[in-house]
Chains A and B, each alone.
Chain A
Amino acid sequence: MLTFAWASLVVLAALAAWAWRVRQRTAGLERRLVQASRELEALQQSFARFAPHEVVEDIIAQGVSTRSETKEVTVLFADLKGFTSIAERLEPARLVTLLNGYFEAMGQAIVSHRGHLAKFIGDGLLALFGALELNPWQTNDALHAALAMRSALAAYNARLRAEGLPPLAAGIGIHRGPVVAGVLGNAALMEYGVIGRTVNLAARVEDLTRVHDTDILVTESVRAHCDRRFRLRPLPPVEARGLPAPLVTFAVEAFDGT
């Protein structure tokens, strides 16, 4: 009788221990699930800065997005002038610090005017306005961003001079038109990007800042869509690489509003 009671106790204790371990494991799994969910939510919020909401949802649900669309966006292309000679004179570590400081300042100017920093290309950058969300004021935003970049670069150059570093000069080209937007790349590297003539034209316009010796140039399409309070100076048409006809551009001088 006593043996049976002991045996029952042992079985009960074993069952209790087993139940306790199962509970612990379940609680552990639950904690990991909550943690994973938190990470996923953070990732989703981070992704939303790089791609439209629907694309982010596709990627989270299916791991890939095949969504592509033609949309009207304003493309801003910026590049440093004479950077190659600066790069040859500076130590690599200082060069990287200098360039990252520049990208930081330009990025803030772009993002604070509802732009999306799409890509860094060497010492250049590509920003899009109206690509991630409907933005009826995309062209004005791009021009305000360009003017903010001009001010930010002046402030950054003052810092560089104080540190004994050479100042930087940037050229900015802006064009508005249709692009094909979607997730581009291969299995190893994918990004939300845009392709099309509009992007190439913005890059060509940026090239022309050297020809016209100015810092911000825009196309006729930008002029037609922007606020009349932007002071634009028409420039003579110039042949541009890869374009069939001379390109008419306008230098952006200032904004005469508040």
Chain B
Amino acid sequence: MALSETAARMEWGACWLEPAPIPRALATEVRRSTGGGLPVWASRLAPLPWLARAFARLTEKRLAHMPLALWDLIGLIVSQDNSCRYCYGAMRTVLKVLGHDDAYVDRIERDVHLAELSRTEQAALEFARRVSHANPRPAAGELEDLARAGFSRPAIAEIAYAAASSVFANRVATLLALPPEPFEGWVDRPLARLLRPLVARRLRARRVAPEPLPRPNDGPCAAVVAALAGSPVARVLREVIDDALASPVLPRRTKLLMLAVIGRALGCRPSEVEAAEGLRGAGFTPDDVSEVLANLGSPKLDGREVLLVPFARETVRYRNAAIQRHTHELWERLGTQEVLEAIGIAALANGVCRLSVLLEAC
């Protein structure tokens, strides 16, 4: 089944956000993470540099423990599961450049159990799909099953992170209805076939040394970051979260409210509690937070929060057409930077709250 056939069945609107100029420093940073190219998202996210950097860094394949080949396969199945046209197309193209033919990718999409994968790889892909679904959240027993299949605890953490990274990218791409990468059309051209091995070298995941937990690691999402201890992705996630919360476009309390709502929707108690603690300093009593979380509304919310709190909930599970329409309406009311920040926070919170499955076994 060609990419175009599967992609055509995914509900996908037109991107309403015009490309913006990319500052030189940001372009250099993105190129370093992506292996040289400037993807479609770079110019769309450029008005909010932290989000462009977050996209680049969270999807960067620098891993210390999990099998490297699993990263792209996880990206593919999670993107397929979330019906993200942009990420699905990009992942399929990357797999092709890495040497996998369409028939192989089709078999993985159809059923990971039918593809030429080892039992441990199949178990990892199933787990990643369940992390993404979060309906219900994977239980502690599923982490133990993966350990029995032969994965170390840090490798399991990276597998969950790979799924969460894709959850993040899928949300950013879907909410903005990003257009497909021109790269998709390039890959089958005769010249491209010759150049594939060279490009593949740049696109492969890289093995890097384990790293200690970043210090300080406090504030929202600290528990989830700590669950990634030993992997370089812990530092990446900590820095991305800190950048996101430090951005002045939306108030910190609005972002914490969005995190708490997404935590509640996904049954992720730690994220909800950490967000509530952060909100205490912003003038929200525990009762205020309870009211917001119970009803997605409160007289204490400002006009922007009245829009963003219910929006946060919509980003957890959605139909593409509905969420793309909703995001567009929000953009008409709030403007580019604020909507990009809301999308970034929602995407990050969806990833982090799903990743908190790692706390189940702690």
Chain A positions within 8 Å of B, measured between CB atoms, are: 34, 37-38, 40-41, 52-54, 133-134, 136-137, 140, 227-229, 257-258
> Is A137's CB under 8 angstroms from B313's CB?
yes
Cα A127 to Cα B66 with chains together (Å): 44
Categorize the interface residue count of chain B: 10 to 19
Most buried by A among B264, B293, B297, B306: B297
Taking A54-B136, A257-B297 as known contacts, 6 extra A-B pairs with beta carbons closer than 8 A to each other, sorted by chain A number, are: A37-B110, A38-B1, A133-B317, A136-B293, A137-B313, A140-B295
State the majority secondary structure of interface residues on A: loop
Task: From known contacts A34-B1, A133-B135, A229-B295, infer whether A258 and B306 are also in contact, taking CB-CB under 8 Å.
Answer: yes
Interface pairs A-B: 9 shortest CB-CB: A227-B295, A37-B110, A133-B135, A34-B1, A136-B264, A134-B267, A53-B135, A257-B297, A53-B133
User: Considering only CB atoms, which chain B residue lies closest to A35 in the complex?
Assistant: B1
Check B294 for interface membership: any CB of A closer than 8 A.
yes
> Is B297's CB under 8 angstroms from A134's CB?
no
CB under 8 Å from chain A, chain B span 179-231: none
Question: What are 10 A-B contacts defined by CB distance under 8 Å?
Answer: A37-B106, A37-B110, A38-B1, A53-B135, A54-B136, A134-B136, A140-B296, A227-B295, A227-B297, A228-B295
Check B266 for interface membership: any CB of A closer than 8 A.
yes
Cα A99 to Cα B87 with chains together (Å): 43
Min CB distance A52 to B, Å, is 7
Across-interface contacts of B295 in A (CB, < 8 A): 137, 140, 227-229
Task: From known contacts A38-B1, A133-B317, A258-B306, infer whether A229 and B135 are also in contact, taking CB-CB under 8 Å.
Answer: no
Min CB distance B287 to A, Å, is 13
Across-interface contacts of A38 in B (CB, < 8 A): 1
Across-interface contacts of A34 in B (CB, < 8 A): 1, 106
> Is B264's CB under 8 angstroms from A258's CB?
no
Across-interface contacts of A41 in B (CB, < 8 A): 110
Cα A229 to Cα B110 with chains together (Å): 47
Cα A258 to Cα B296 with chains together (Å): 11
Cα A175 to Cα B313 with chains together (Å): 23
